[in-house]
Amino acid sequence: MNSNLAQRMWRELQAALNMIANALLDDLAGVLSPRLLISNAAETASTDGKLWVRLPEEFCGVRLGERMQIFMGLLVHEIGHWLQPLDQVQEVEKKTDLDHAVVNILLDIHLEALVVRIFPLFAAPLAAVRELVGQKMRKEYEKGYKGAASFLEAANAALLYGRFCVDTDWSFGVPRSLMTRKRTQNKDVDEDELKHFLKAASDIVLFPSVQLPEVMAQVAKDFPELCVKRPSIPFLNPLDGLSSGGDCLPGV
């Protein structure tokens, strides 16, 4: 991208980011003024939850300037994290060893539903991002679920399939077909336990942000199989900031 085009794109996207922050953060927008970073090394968007939002020059094969709605959706998604008590959630994650990738997906499910309740016009760009990811990653999620060697691996694959491959008009849909179709079914997974967990994942949108630390602690208590002593590698989640090398709050 040449320097003139890059500067123009940055100005347009910074203006869009300011608009999104004003719409979602209300009075806090004047105090928490997000700074836009654009990286040619990042694979996905990320944020520190308080100062900056980073966009990649390319996301899932779409370059900046090609489909502005996709990058609007990424900006909306990242500012949505600013509505969540990320520091407190991170403390719960540390205390319980709840898998970081699972925590990140649950936060994503929650924030995308919350954002649309606050500002319904943001539904379209968020849905566009989910549809793009689903088109690119569906087969990988199916393969990952069928080949999962643990409850944690199966849960990660099922969460991502539910995020991006069930009904992209919503932040999450329980992936019943993934678990029941013969070509994707995994008979080594405790299906009843997984259904219980996916119901909890679906219900997370019912809670206000302030209760998220408590909700995450309950997930860790109810599903100890999801608690690990070391962070898992994110299972092909294009919206996981770990893959971008984001600072401060990796994975959001």
Containing domain of residue 7, as a range? 3-81
Report yes or no on 251 lying in a domain: no
**In a shared domain, residues 158 and 204:** yes
**In a shared domain, residues 237 and 147:** yes
Which residue, 212, 239, 137, is CA-closest to 178? 137
pLDDT tens sequence across 131-146: 999 999 999 999 999 9
**In a shared domain, residues 106 and 229:** yes
**In a shared domain, residues 149 and 48:** no
- Per-residue pLDDT, averaged over 25-46, amounts to 83
**In a shared domain, residues 68 and 125:** no
Domain boundary among 49, 81, 113: 81
Res. 245: pLDDT tops 80: no
How far from the centroid of its chain's Cα atoms is residue 223's Cα?
A: 20
pLDDT at 246: 37
pLDDT at 16: 95
**In a shared domain, residues 60 and 118:** no
pLDDT tens sequence across 100-117: 999 999 999 999 999 999
**In a shared domain, residues 102 and 69:** no
Report yes or no on 130 lying in a domain: yes
β-bridge pairing 52-56 and 35-39: parallel
pLDDT at 43: 87
**pLDDT interval class at 234 (50, 70, 90):** low
pLDDT at 33: 82
pLDDT at 229: 76
**In a shared domain, residues 137 and 226:** yes
The percentage of residues in the chain with a pLDDT greater than 90, rounded to a whole number, is 77
SS3 98: strand
pLDDT tens sequence across 149-197: 999 999 999 999 999 999 999 999 999 999 999 999 999 999 999 999 9
pLDDT at 241: 57
**In a shared domain, residues 131 and 192:** yes
Report yes or no on 145 lying in a domain: yes
Report yes or no on 184 lying in a domain: yes
**pLDDT interval class at 242 (50, 70, 90):** very low
**In a shared domain, residues 18 and 140:** no
Considering all CA atoms of the chain, what is the largest pairwise distance in Å, rounded to the nearest integer?
56
pLDDT at 95: 97
Residue 189 makes CB contacts below 8 A (sequence gap 6+) with 148, 151, 154, 179
- Per-residue pLDDT, averaged over 23-35, amounts to 78
pLDDT at 30: 63
Report yes or no on 156 lying in a domain: yes
CB 18 within 8 A of CB 51: no
Domains: count for the chain: 2
Domain boundary among 81, 103, 129: 81
pLDDT at 233: 54
Report yes or no on 249 lying in a domain: no
Which residue, 250, 246, 232, 222, is CA-closest to 101? 232
Q: Which two tokens stand for residue 210?
A: 């302030």
**In a shared domain, residues 149 and 33:** no
**Alpha carbons 88 and 40: distance in angstroms, whole number:** 31
CB 10 within 8 A of CB 38: yes
**pLDDT interval class at 42 (50, 70, 90):** confident
Domain boundary among 45, 61, 81: 81
pLDDT at 6: 76
Q: Is the dihedral of CA 138, 143, 145, 150 positive or negative?
A: negative
pLDDT at 230: 64
**In a shared domain, residues 109 and 199:** yes
pLDDT at 236: 67
